[in-house]
Structure 1
Amino acid sequence: MIPHPSVVSRCGNMNRLFSKTPQQKDRYARATLFLIALTVPLVIFGAISALKTTSNDPRQWLPKSFAETSRYDWFLQHFGSDEIAVVSWPGCELDDPRVSSLAGSLEESEFFDRVRTGQSVIDQLMQPPLDLSRAEARRRLGGILIGPNGKTTCLVLSTSVAGKADRVKAVSEIERLSQATCQLPASELRLAGPTVDAAAIDIESRRLLFQLAGISAFVSFFVASMRLKSIRLAIMILVVAGYSTGLSLAILYVCGSKMNLLMTMLPPLVYILSISSAVHLANYYRDAASDSATQDAHTNALGTAVAKGWLPCVLAAATTSIGLVSLSLSKIEPIQMFGIYSAIGVTSSVGVLFVLLPAALHLFPPRIEPIDRAAQATSGDANTIRFSDYAVAAISRHNVLVVIACLAVMAFYAKGLPSIKSTVRLQDRFLDGSDAINDYQWLETNVGPMVPLEIVIHFDKDSPLDLVKQMRLVAAVQKKIHSLDEPVATMSAINLSPSLPSGSRVRDVIQRKLINRPSTKQHLIDANFLAVTDSEQLWRITARANAIGDLDYGLYAEQLQLAIDPLLEQQGARGTYTGIIPLIYKAQRQLLMDLFRSFLAAFAIIALVLVFVLRSVSAALIAMVPNLFPAVVVFGGLEWIGIPLQIGSVMTASAAMGIAVDDTLHFLTWFRRGIDRGLSRKDAISDAYGRCAGAMMQTTLICCSGLLVFTVSSFVPILHFAWLMVALLLAALIGDLVLLPAILAGPLGRFFEKSKASPNR
């Protein structure tokens, strides 16, 4: 039964709080606002400091506990960082003097350690001891530094520690020096590589924070003002939401964490959810204040609103926080951090709501027009009253049909859930036509593929194979890679070494001695294509695949391993396969696991909360059905229309379930109170519908309008996050205002009544 005795006790304490003398109430309210005002500078400082710490290091998206990540770390220890920036432009050819000029300027920059160009490497290959012909040198660099036409080239910049610390500045330095040295405007440059990708994400993060988030806040405030029909009340709600948002950012800063692209959704999410809770409490207040019986006693109305509203608001915040904190089960750090800090933000916002809003309402009460008793149960305008009456009558009359129809829709979309796909590929992170996609397409068409897969061949220190024989195996592996169907470019020690001897002629003997010289080995070590440890000799082969296209990275990595391993086993060697491609494949699979793991955890914990609230296992499980409705329909629908899950998509399922339970708890709270007052089940549904439907639609409209602003983002994970949240919130509204009332009106509704109540009540 609800409320529980402990809840009654707490409500009594709140009522006693509002039973003070008017002077005491004024002093309490003023003191509250004064103390809040004192903390505002600290909150602003913390929030601004947090916003300045944006960091989108590509490594943070790699699950640290995976063997694939450990292998990648091992690779970096032996061959150095592979973070690069690739620069080219239309007309960037081997004989273009601007290439060497820009390379010289960039080599002097603190943001880059080394600069390689097609011409500079050709010059090295044509010098002793290799003495390659120009044509042979070009052939060896094809697809890596020289395009298919044999002329187009690029600059490959190795990013320094300073460049990794601020990738946006590093990319800005490329653009600045291009203009200053070669009169090349930024619009003509074609940029790619991990440094450029991270900089693009950083720039989009800042745009989200300083442009879209502000627009979202304004849109949410505007919609709230229109729906509440009170500028003063809307301003109070705006202040509560703004303070809660700033506090959540300040907490993030104090805890030593940094903003990243996903974390940029923290401020708007906390802001929107704070508005949602505040609108519910404001509607409780308007309901009490507009009652003609309490119109003469404003403070009594405020006390009634807090006493009636605190339980559903706190429980709703708790379930929302549970949904969010379940994201901490993810193996991907940015998703973990988003879940933890958004849950903290939502929880702290409830405290702010019940401290700040009652004090503001007491000192600056908005004008509320009284309504007569006949409209008290619905507490909404005429349109809402007519809608509520019609909806309740239709749903109650056809409750079985409505439930069957909703369950049929769920079953239809549930068929797509087992086949749902995920992606973290570059081309799926940015919109078609964006600068990032256009640059990659141009570079891969005119120069070569951009996404690396690293193959490391291990030879034991006591291997009977000399350097030449080991290199011959490396060459065989390269040939095998090119024999597969996928168009790739490869680079290894073979590209930077003299031609391998093939016989026993005098020339071959000389060539063999030349290759076996210590200086040759050192040259390859310096080029990061050979590494020597205490027990092994390691040869590196880089295979570059296209970033843009339909290549299945997981399948391609498996094909490579199946083709190469037999060659290595014949010579007593073994291979390690690492790089971006295996990590992307692993991260894609991890996204699906994170989605289902966090969703199941949220479902289980929220179900336990409902068992506690409803005092019935059966009622709690039945009440979870409307909250499963949005996730099943929306995520099943993604598979039907062929949209893969993004990183931003994973965050929505658990969060949306928590938000959906918000409205469910409000509805069930009023339904159970109606039952406790002796109303029949149908009348209790009508009473709950009248009290909650307006607020539910208002909060959904406010949340959706604020989130829709982010659909203009050029970063697809954020765009998906916004669209999915909107779809989930709208589906949740159907679940709470259609499916839930139908369940309550039908045979299953008896589980929500008192044990002594008749099933037909």
Structure 2
Amino acid sequence: MISYFYQQNGRLLLALVALTFPFFYWQANTIKSNNDIETWLPRKTEVRQEYERFKREFGAEEIIVVALERSVADPQLVESLAGRLERLAGIRAVWTPERMTEQMASLGVPRDEAQRRIQGLLEAPSGELIGIVALMSEAGAKDRAGVVAAVRRELDYCRLQAPHAALNGAPVVVTELDRLGSQHSSRRFFMITMLVCLTLLYVFFGHWGMAWSTLGITLWGIYVTQTVLAWCGGEMNFIMGSLSVMVMIFTLSIAVHFVSYYSEAKQAGAADPLALALKEAWNPCALSTVTTLLGLISLNVSDILPVAQFGYAAALGAIIALAVGLGIMPALTVVWPHCETRSLCFRLDYGEWADFVAAHRKQILALAGVLVVLTGVGLLRLQSDVDPVEFLPRQSSVLADLQRIERDLTGVDSIEAVVDFGDSDLPFVDRMLKVRTLEKKIGAHPGVRHTLSAASFFPEELPDSAFAAARMLSRAQANGADAGWVVDDQRLWRISARLHRQHGLSPVRVLNDLEQQLAGEPVRFTGLAPLLKSAQIEIFNGFWQSFTAACLTISLVMILSLRSLLAGIVAMVPNIIPIWLVFGGLGFLGTPVDIGMMMTGSIALGISVDCTFHFLVHYREAYRGGCTSPEACRRALIHSGEPMLESTLICSLGMLALCLSSFVPTARFGGMMAAQMLASVLGELVILPALLCVRPKRRESRWLMHSSHAAVPAAPHCAEPRPVREYAA
């Protein structure tokens, strides 16, 4: 019945794919990019709620820092540039050294003292650089790319370009991340992935038409996935940039297994090889897709929004990959019915390998146990880290500007301290003195480069009379000295601290020190550093939570599908050990886990179980036919070892192409996925057969055979297996 359908409609189905290809390609390219740093930080934590509260109270302050060499920074040119920037639609205010000095001097601060106060913010201590700080409006924050482009145009107009000028700030970094995270920027490594996969498909099929067509329907599935994502309002980011590669390897893995079954059926002389191949491929492919879905959906436990979004998007891609691999791929066998598979592995003798594993099973399992214990120590040392600067490629001009500004002018990282006087009836002057005391304590930390508050605009010696103090306050309010620094009827005061990166003190460590130092004071901390600290905790917890959830749900599927508790547990062991080894190795090397690496454990587990299902299908068939456990392992390896190794090789090489990404986290994601998938070969071809070979004899145990309708044969003789496919040289 199914063969008749494809014989009659296979070419029509392929024509429909070809006709809709341009439409889905066009729709897929309408997805917008969003790499806003805040989206990569936890959503529901108290730290995030405090940050949102700070933005409501003081306003979201996003700044663009322009650093100019003193040799080209003529005062008139600086003021002219500041005026031009101030007239841009997305800029609400501009600070220059002269403007801030004048504002402090108008309130009685001596000019030399005012110049000292702006060092580390608008002037370099060495005097080589001066800074212009542009504060973005709310409208500007909604169009960061447009505002940054406009600022760059103004710099070009004033003929201020590298190396005489540097541009940075959160809007500049986010704009660059959006550019790097767009589909256009990810096309380079995706094209390389396609070339690698096309070459492997040709070697595997020995037929260019079949190879090109398989790649074509794979691309169609990718664009369908991205189209649905666009229709659902999804956004691209540096993690979503790997979605195309993920869907590609999902589809090609299923396609390779299907064509392997089809070739075996033809060589066995089956009357209807297409129907037989679909029947044999459906259960393991469907079950492996379910486990992949569970591994991906388990990412939803993360409180980092793009991680959860990637889990759902990749899960959608896995479903579409199953539909393409088992729904459209059979149509290609109608077009090229004589196309068969051939070996990628130069006629590797899986029978001899199975005999070797069976003979040395105890030594193999003992060695695996030792490695698990050793890498378990590494897992205990595993740490997490997140730094938006790490998202930028090493050769990026934005990174070079950031490092120069950080080194010679002012800190890029900041901590915001909010002093809350509550219902206190302290007068303004007393509150300001309290804020000044706290500001000095914060500024004394070696990791703090510069501090600024409303108190910074007032002289050290304040008027004694209440009338003079009130007049000074009135003058400060008139020229906006307290704007954005004091709110809620003088209840809340803000202290902004710029941090050092060069002193080896991370923002999180500085934050921890300040929290301890100012414990008991009416001050709370917020800003990017506390959010980064929260994100590091979330990454670490999210890794274990998502991996545990994936293990439990996938184990349940294995137990139900194998109809045995013990069989399901045994089948999970060789899939967990490779991931354990890779992450344990990271712990030993002292390599921290970032956002992209955190996701790989659950995803790799869901994918690697694919091969386990294919292996166990052949193993149970042979075992039920009367084979001993070592004999059943031998026949299962002969039948499924080749497609398992081939699909793993294709998937791993596809993931390695992500290492060419200019995004460091994306490159690490690809490297980690490739490492875990290659390590899964150790689990599937070594540890799993070794475990099954130590299985008690049939009269002692019947696990892996708990089928209500399949009795264990009384005779111990191994039934004749299906013919094994011969591979072309």
User: Is the pair's TM-score, using the shorter chain for normalization, greater than 0.5?
Assistant: yes
- Give 1:30's match in structure 2, choosing from 1, 8, 11: 11
Amino acid of the structure 1 residue aligned with 2:651: C
Residues 1:682 and 2:661 are matched in the alignment: no
Residues 1:450 and 2:431 are matched in the alignment: no
Structure 1 Cα separation of the partners of residues 715 and 38 of structure 2: 59
Residues 1:286 and 2:259 are matched in the alignment: no
Cα distance, 1:606 vs structure 2: 0.3
Cα distance, 1:158 vs structure 2: 1.9
Partner of 2:212: 235
- Give 1:702's match in structure 2, choosing from 633, 650, 674: 650
Partner of 2:87: 108
Partner of 2:725: none
Q: Is the Cα contact below 8 Å between 2:415 and 2:526 reproduced in 1?
A: yes
Cα distance, 1:732 vs structure 2: 0.7
Residues 1:441 and 2:403 are matched in the alignment: yes
- Give 1:353's match in structure 2, choosing from 299, 302, 325: 325
Q: Mark the CA change 1:68 to 1:451 in structure 2 (over 3 Å): closer, same or farther.
A: same
Cα distance, 1:623 vs structure 2: 0.8
Amino acid of the structure 2 residue aligned with 1:492: S
Residues 1:459 and 2:411 are matched in the alignment: no
User: Secondary structure, in 3 states, of the residue corresponding to 1:679?
Assistant: coil
Q: Mark the CA change 1:522 to 1:651 in structure 2 (over 3 Å): closer, same or farther.
A: farther
Structure 1 Cα separation of the partners of residues 417 and 714 of structure 2: 72
Partner of 1:374: none
Structure 2 Cα separation of the partners of residues 511 and 632 of structure 1: 69
Moved more, 355-364 or 390-399: 355-364
Q: Mark the CA change 1:465 to 1:329 in structure 2 (over 3 Å): closer, same or farther.
A: same
Q: Is the Cα contact below 8 Å between 1:284 and 1:309 reproduced in 2?
A: yes
Residues 1:45 and 2:30 are matched in the alignment: no
Structure 2 Cα separation of the partners of residues 167 and 440 of structure 1: 17
User: Secondary structure, in 3 states, of the residue corresponding to 1:450?
Assistant: coil
Structure 1 Cα separation of the partners of residues 101 and 485 of structure 2: 17
Residue deviations 1:235-294, cap 9 Å, x none? 232122111111110110111221122111111111122112211112212222344x24
User: Secondary structure, in 3 states, of the residue corresponding to 1:747?
Assistant: coil
Cα distance, 1:594 vs structure 2: 0.6
Moved more, 249-258 or 104-113: 104-113
Residues 1:538 and 2:492 are matched in the alignment: yes
Residue deviations 1:284-329, cap 9 Å, x none? 12222344x24xx6xx222221111111111111111110111011
Amino acid of the structure 1 residue aligned with 2:289: A
- Give 2:441's match in structure 1, choosing from 468, 473, 480: 480
Partner of 2:201: 224
For structure 1, which runs of at least 5 residues remain unmatched after alignment?
Answer: 1-15, 370-378, 569-573
Structure 2 Cα separation of the partners of residues 302 and 398 of structure 1: 39
User: Secondary structure, in 3 states, of the residue corresponding to 1:667?
Assistant: helix
Q: Is the Cα contact below 8 Å between 1:670 and 1:688 reproduced in 2?
A: yes
Cα distance, 1:412 vs structure 2: 0.9
Structure 2 Cα separation of the partners of residues 107 and 759 of structure 1: 90
User: Secondary structure, in 3 states, of the residue corresponding to 1:304?
Assistant: helix
Cα distance, 1:423 vs structure 2: 0.8
Structure 2 Cα separation of the partners of residues 306 and 546 of structure 1: 62
- Give 1:193's match in structure 2, choosing from 157, 165, 169: 169
Matches within 5 A, 1:57-96: 57-91=36-70, 95=74
Residues 1:149 and 2:130 are matched in the alignment: no
Q: Is the Cα contact below 8 Å between 2:70 and 2:128 reproduced in 1?
A: no
Matches within 5 A, 1:96-495: 97-126=76-105, 128=106, 130-150=107-127, 152-181=129-158, 183-185=159-161, 189-206=165-182, 207-291=184-268, 293-294=269-270, 300-368=272-340, 380=343, 383-386=346-349, 388-430=350-392, 432=394, 434-461=396-423, 463-495=424-456
For structure 2, which runs of at least 5 residues remain unmatched after alignment?
Answer: 719-729
Residue deviations 1:21-55, cap 9 Å, x none? xxx643232343344345434422321222xx111
Q: Is the Cα contact below 8 Å between 1:666 and 1:692 reproduced in 2?
A: yes
User: Secondary structure, in 3 states, of the residue corresponding to 2:627?
Assistant: coil
TM norm structure 2: 0.92
Amino acid of the structure 2 residue aligned with 1:518: S
Partner of 2:723: none
Cα distance, 1:392 vs structure 2: 1.0
Identity of aligned residues (%): 29
Q: Mark the CA change 1:382 to 1:253 in structure 2 (over 3 Å): closer, same or farther.
A: closer
Structure 1 Cα separation of the partners of residues 146 and 402 of structure 2: 21
Partner of 2:469: 512
User: Secondary structure, in 3 states, of the residue corresponding to 1:491?
Assistant: strand
Give the RMSD, CA atoms, in angstroms: 2.5
Structure 1 Cα separation of the partners of residues 713 and 377 of structure 2: 39
User: How many matched pairs?
Assistant: 708
Structure 2 Cα separation of the partners of residues 439 and 748 of structure 1: 66
Partner of 1:17: 2
Q: Mark the CA change 1:278 to 1:96 in structure 2 (over 3 Å): closer, same or farther.
A: farther
Moved more, 470-479 or 166-175: 166-175
Q: Mark the CA change 1:367 to 1:756 in structure 2 (over 3 Å): closer, same or farther.
A: closer
Q: Is the Cα contact below 8 Å between 1:327 and 1:651 reproduced in 2?
A: yes
Q: Is the Cα contact below 8 Å between 1:468 and 1:500 reproduced in 2?
A: no
Cα distance, 1:585 vs structure 2: 0.3
TM norm structure 1: 0.88
Structure 1 Cα separation of the partners of residues 662 and 623 of structure 2: 50
Structure 1 Cα separation of the partners of residues 71 and 228 of structure 2: 49
Residue deviations 1:149-182, cap 9 Å, x none? 245211212233454334333333332221222x
User: Secondary structure, in 3 states, of the residue corresponding to 1:154?
Assistant: strand
Moved more, 61-70 or 468-477: 61-70
Q: Mark the CA change 1:713 to 1:398 in structure 2 (over 3 Å): closer, same or farther.
A: same
Structure 1 Cα separation of the partners of residues 197 and 411 of structure 2: 44
